[in-house]
Chain A
C-alpha cells in the first residue's frame, strides 16, 4: 500500500497479522501526522503492534508529532503497543521531552522494534 500525502512526504504501510509497520519518509509535518493517524484509524481491527520506521525522516514538527501521538493513543488505548526505530539523536530526545516515550518504545533497528523487547 502506498500513500502520497505531500510532495516530499511518503508513507508506506506493511501489514502482517497483528502488526502494522509504517515506513515514514521525508519531512513529517501536520499533513504527514494526519496521514499517519488516519491510516491507523482506518485499520479494522486496530493493530496489536504498531511499528514506526523513521529511518528516512529528517525533520519532524510538533504538529507531525501530534498526529503520531494520536495514532499511538488509539493503539495503546485499545490494548496494543507501539514501537519506533530509526530516530536520530535529536528526535529521540524530543520524544523523551514530550513524554511520548511513555507510550512508544524506541529501538535502534527494525528487528528489535518488531520484537518490541528491551526498549
Chain B
C-alpha cells in the first residue's frame, strides 16, 4: 500500500499525450490542478512523473491524520523517517531537510480534495507550501482544493497557478485523435455529446453501438465512481434537482419542497461535480451528468420524478417561462397541465414567429392532448400557411379536425373553420381539385353558419375570390368579414381581413391602395401588440 501511494499509477491504454499541459504544469512553483472525475488529472500527472524528476503521493482517508500524511510525504520525497514524530516536530524536521541544498524537486500530491474538513492537515500542507524553499515545487491535484492557508497569497504573488477542466477538456482534434487510438472512426457526435470530457468520450466510444446503447458505460462509471461515493443526502439532493436544467437555490427549494438548497449547491460547486457557475450564480450541470441523474431518478422513483417535474412546471409557469413550464409538464406526463400550457406557449411562439419551435413542441405532445386543443392546432396551421409552409399547415389542421370531432357544442364551428384554413392551404400547395371541393363545401355551409365560423367562412371565400382575380367579390367578402370579426371582438382576424382589403385596393386603385393597405397593416400590428399585453 505504501508503495502504491508513493508511485504513480499506470497510464491508461490507449493514452493521448498532452505536451502542452506538461508545459503548463511547470507554470509556477505551486500548480493547482482541479477538475471533476474523468478529466484525466491523474493520467496527466502520471505522464508528467514519467518525464522528469518528481515525487508522488496519493492521499487517502488515512491522511486526514496529520502524522500519517507528514510521514507519507517525507517518505515519497526520500526524506527523514518521521514515524512516531508529533506533527509539529515532524513538519519542522521535514522543512529543515528540504532547506538543504539539492536539485530541484517536485512533489505531486493527488486527491487533495480528500483533506476537506480536516483543518489540521490543511494547515500542515499550507505550511509546507509557504515555508519550503523555491527549489521545491508542488503540484496539488483533486476534484477541488480545500482551503489551504497561504495558498491565496502565493496566487497573488504569481507563485501559484491553476489548471482546470477547461484546460483538461479534449478539443475536437483531441477527441478525434483519441477515437483513432481507440480504433473508432471519426465521430463528431461523440465529441459534441461529451463536451470534451475525456472519460465520457472513452466510455461512449467503447459501447458496441452508440445509438443503441447510448452512454451506458459512462453511466455505470458515474453511478459507481461518482454518485455512489457521495453521502446519501447529497445523492438524493442531486437526483432530485436534476429535474431542473439549471440549478438555483430558490427554484430548487420550491420544487423539492425543502430549504437548504443554497448550502447544498455551494457544496456541489466546491466539489466540482460536473457543474459550471453562470455569472448570476446559478449552476449549469454537464448535459451527460444531468441525463444520468434524471435517468437514475426515473428508474428509482418514477412517481417522485413526475411529481418534481410537475412542481418545476408550476414554478416556471408562475415565473413566466411558458416554454420551460411546458417542457416540465411533458416530462411529468400531466396531460391537463400540458393542455393548459400549450395554448399559452403556442400563442407566444406564433406572435414571435418561432414556428419551428412550435412544431417541435406539437410533435412531442401526446396525441390525446393534441386532440383536446384543436384551436391551438388551427392557429398553428394558419400561422404556418401564412409563413409559406402549407404542407406543414395541412398536417396540423387535419389534426384539429379530429380534435373538433370530439369537442362538444364548439366542435361543428371549429370543423368549419378548420375546413376553411385547409382549403386555402391546399390552394397554396396547388392541389386545386381538393381546394375547390373544400371551398364549395364552405360556400354551401355559409348560409347556415353563425358567429366566428360564418365570419371565417366569409374571409376564406374572399381570399379565394382574390386568388381567382375576382376583386369585386373579394372586396365585398373582406369588408363583410372585417365587419363581422370586429363585432365578434376577433381583432387579429379583423386585421387579416383589412389587410386583404388593402392588398386588393393596392392592385385595383394604385392611388388609394397604399393608404388602405397601411391602415390594415397598422391595425393588424396594433392587434398583435395589444394581444401580448397581460
Residues of A in contact with B (beta carbons under 8 Å apart): 30, 59, 61-63, 65-67, 69-70, 73, 90, 93-94, 96-100, 102
Contact = CB atoms under 8 A, between A and B. Distances in A.
Interface of B: 398-399, 401-402, 404-406, 411-412, 415-416, 418-419, 422-423, 426, 433-435, 437-438, 440-441, 444-445, 448
Interface centre among B402, B405, B415, B419 (most CB of A within 10 A): B405
A73 B426 contact: no
27 contacts: A30-B412, A61-B412, A61-B444, A61-B445, A62-B412, A62-B419, A62-B441, A63-B412, A63-B415, A66-B404, A66-B415, A69-B401, A69-B402, A69-B405, A70-B405, A70-B406, A94-B438, A94-B441, A97-B423, A97-B434, A97-B437, A97-B438, A98-B398, A98-B401, A98-B415, A98-B422, A99-B402
Nearest to B412: A63
Which among B418, B422, B423, B441 has the greatest number of chain A C-beta atoms within 10 A?
A: B441
Q: Which of A66, A67, A90, A93 has its CB near the most chain B CB atoms (within 10 A)?
A: A66
Contacts of A63: 411-412, 415-416
Given A67-B405, A73-B402, 12 more contacts: A61-B445, A65-B405, A66-B405, A66-B412, A73-B405, A90-B437, A93-B433, A94-B441, A97-B435, A98-B398, A99-B398, A99-B399
B438 A62 contact: no
B38 to A, nearest CB: 48
Nearest to A92: B437
A94 B439 CA distance: 10
Nearest to B415: A62
Given A61-B448, A98-B401, A90 B440 contact: yes
Contact of A97 (B402, B405, B419): B419
A96 B401 CA distance: 12
Nearest to B444: A59
Q: Do most interface residues of chain B lie in helix, strand or loop, or is the interface mixed?
A: helix
Contacts of A102: 398
A99 B412 contact: no
Contacts of B433: 93
B403 to A, nearest CB: 10
Contacts of B406: 70, 73
Contacts of A90: 437, 440-441
B230 to A, nearest CB: 47
Nearest to B419: A62
Contacts of A73: 402, 405-406
Nearest to B422: A97
A94 B401 contact: no
Contacts of B422: 97-98
Nearest to A77: B368
A102 B423 CA distance: 18
A99 B377 CA distance: 14
Contacts of A97: 419, 422-423, 426, 434-435, 437-438
A28 to B, nearest CB: 12
Nearest to A60: B441
Central interface residue in B399, B415, B438, by most chain A CB within 10 Å: B415
Contact of A98 (B411, B418, B440): B418
A26 to B, nearest CB: 16
A67 B435 CA distance: 23
Nearest to B407: A66
Chain A CB within 10 Å — which of B412, B422, B434 has the most? B412
Contacts of B415: 62-63, 65-66, 98
Nearest to A67: B405
Contacts of B398: 98-99, 102
A109 B426 CA distance: 28
Contacts of A93: 433-434, 437-438
